Amino acid sequence: MYPWSSSTPAACPKPSPSPTNSGTGNPTNSPFGTKGDASERSEIAGVCPGGGGRVAPAVQGKCRRQRGRVIPIIPPRIPSIPIQTMQPQTILDAIDELPRIQLARKNTPFEEMPRLRAAIAESMDADIEAVPQLFIKREDTTGFAFGGNKARHMEFLFAHFIERGIDTIVNINHYDSNNARFVAASCARTGMKYHWVAHDMVDAPVAGNMLIAHLAGANIHRVPDQPTARSLAEQINAEETRNGRNSTVLSHNPFYDIAGMIGFLETGSELDRQTQEAGLADDPLHMWGLCGRSIGGIRLYARNTGKPWKATAVAQQLEFPKTYEGIYLDRSARVAHLLGLDTALDPGDITTIAGYTGTYGYTTEGAIAAIHLVASTEGIMLDPNYTGKSMSGLIGEVKSGNVDPEVPVVFIHTGGLPQTFAFADELWNWQPH
């Protein structure tokens, strides 16, 4: 009935991508710059370099120095220890020392999905016990800029920019990018100028994330491919600098790589409390999400507090299964050093799976089916490019017998909902097979 499969699903038709379509344009990993003195290193890491700094009038919250801790150019690998018992409040106190602005609504809902569980069991012609208990962490309800996980990311990233006196952001990202939407809204909130160089799908209609970015005042430049986008972004950045603005290309800033993982350490603490309230205290749990900073931050929290949480990340880009482990190892080491955590992540701490991805910016048959099933059983909306693919992966792996039915699964809903409307025809015309 529903096309759950671990093989790569066919992509639903969308406008043809350019041959160089390679994802969001987000950077992978860059070291903490090349400058040598302590104040510069602290600035790059996101620590208030000298107290003060230019704070936009619309921004609430204040910057605090990090008690004199100096961040090296390239942090050492944090040795792992099998079981950690770091107190959650210690982690939260370390996070609280970083500069931050208030954007997201926190303590997002944690809900069970019993009807979805029953529907999956029925589609397997199996008893309910063959499917794990299903819960969902609703990061789609953070409120800011239509909601989503990146609201937490931007709280730290834009505080970092304010401390450096940045007033103009140049961002290279795909037409479908959620990141580009959140940067647009964050620039609007903080009074910064914003250029989004949007690559691929130049003939696609303005909808979803691009429409919201436009409403938030973004200067949008549409180009056919990523190399062209990089070149144009450098030209825009140079011109803004010549005109006297303190401009930066987002992907050039090393703190951009780790701000999201820091934000989701805090989400881990919320989940810790919410799972206890749900009667799951100290139980093994299976966190399920997308390859990225968010699930990495949750797993890093569990690693340092001794929570028996495993994590699976579904690739939303074809190349991610091969590269994601190196990315999360590097970023977790940098976060652990910055915050004084006991340990970083180790290889194998996050299981990465492919086969549900399709091409970035295109949906899949499985994602569309998952969106319909979750909406019709739980009244919860997913999106065709991110969370729909993640849920398709969860359902497919459950049906293939690759998910332990005795360990409850917590699905991390990262948002992305504006792009649902960009796939209206595919969603409207889909019929179960």
Neighbours of 283 (CB within 10 A): 15
The rounded percent of the chain whose pLDDT value lies above 70 is 80
Per-residue pLDDT at 433: 78
The mean pLDDT of 307-321, rounded to a whole number, is 85
Per-residue pLDDT at 360: 85
pLDDT digits (tens, 9 = 90+) for 374-392: 999 999 999 999 999 999 9
Please choose, from the candidates 285, 302, 310, 312, the residue with its C-alpha nearest in 3D space to the C-alpha of residue 341. Answer: 302
Local structure of 249: helix, strand or coil: strand
Per-residue pLDDT at 24: 35
Between 19 and 3, the more confident residue is: 3
pLDDT digits (tens, 9 = 90+) for 77-110: 444 444 558 999 999 999 999 999 999 999 999 9
Structure tokens at 211: 């429409």
Structure tokens at 220: 């949008």
CA–CA distance, 428 with 426 (Å, rounded to integer): 6
Per-residue pLDDT at 34: 29
pLDDT band at 187 (very low <50, low <70, confident <90, very high): very high
The answer to whether the CB of 121 falls within 8 A of the CB of 131 is yes
Q: Which helix (H) or strand (E) holds 126?
A: none
Please name the residue that has the structure tokens 């949750």.
Answer: 298
pLDDT digits (tens, 9 = 90+) for 390-424: 999 999 999 999 999 999 999 999 999 999 999 99
CA–CA distance, 95 with 262 (Å, rounded to integer): 7
- Mean pLDDT across the chain: 85
Contacts 24+ apart (CB under 8 A), 241-245: 245/167, 245/168, 245/193
Per-residue pLDDT at 93: 98
Local structure of 365: helix, strand or coil: helix
pLDDT band at 321 (very low <50, low <70, confident <90, very high): low
pLDDT digits (tens, 9 = 90+) for 287-305: 999 999 999 999 999 999 9
Per-residue pLDDT at 25: 34
List of residues 6+ apart from 79 with CB closer than 8 A = 343
Per-residue pLDDT at 319: 64
Per-residue pLDDT at 22: 34
Per-residue pLDDT at 84: 52
Q: Which helix (H) or strand (E) holds 193?
A: strand 193-199
Between 130 and 9, the more confident residue is: 130
Residue type for 124, please? M
pTM over 0.85: no
Quote the radius of gyration of the chain (alpha carbons, Å): 21
Phi, psi dihedrals of residue 166, rounded to the nearest 5°: -65, 135
Asked whether residue 236 carries a pLDDT value surpassing 70, the answer given is: yes
pLDDT digits (tens, 9 = 90+) for 108-120: 999 999 999 999 9
CA–CA distance, 345 with 39 (Å, rounded to integer): 28
Per-residue pLDDT at 323: 86
Per-residue pLDDT at 142: 98
Q: Which helix (H) or strand (E) holds 119?
A: helix 114-123
The answer to whether the CB of 247 falls within 8 A of the CB of 166 is yes
Structural domains of the chain in order of their starting residue, each with its CATH number: 38-73+150-252 (3.40.50.1100), 88-149+256-429 (3.40.50.1100)
DSSP 319: T
Phi, psi dihedrals of residue 136, rounded to the nearest 5°: -140, 135
Lowest mean pLDDT segment, chosen from 29-38, 140-149, 162-171, 260-269: 29-38
pLDDT digits (tens, 9 = 90+) for 11-54: 443 433 433 333 333 333 322 222 233 333 333 343 333 333 32
Structure tokens at 391: 């849920």
Give the β-pairing of 134-138 and 110-112: antiparallel
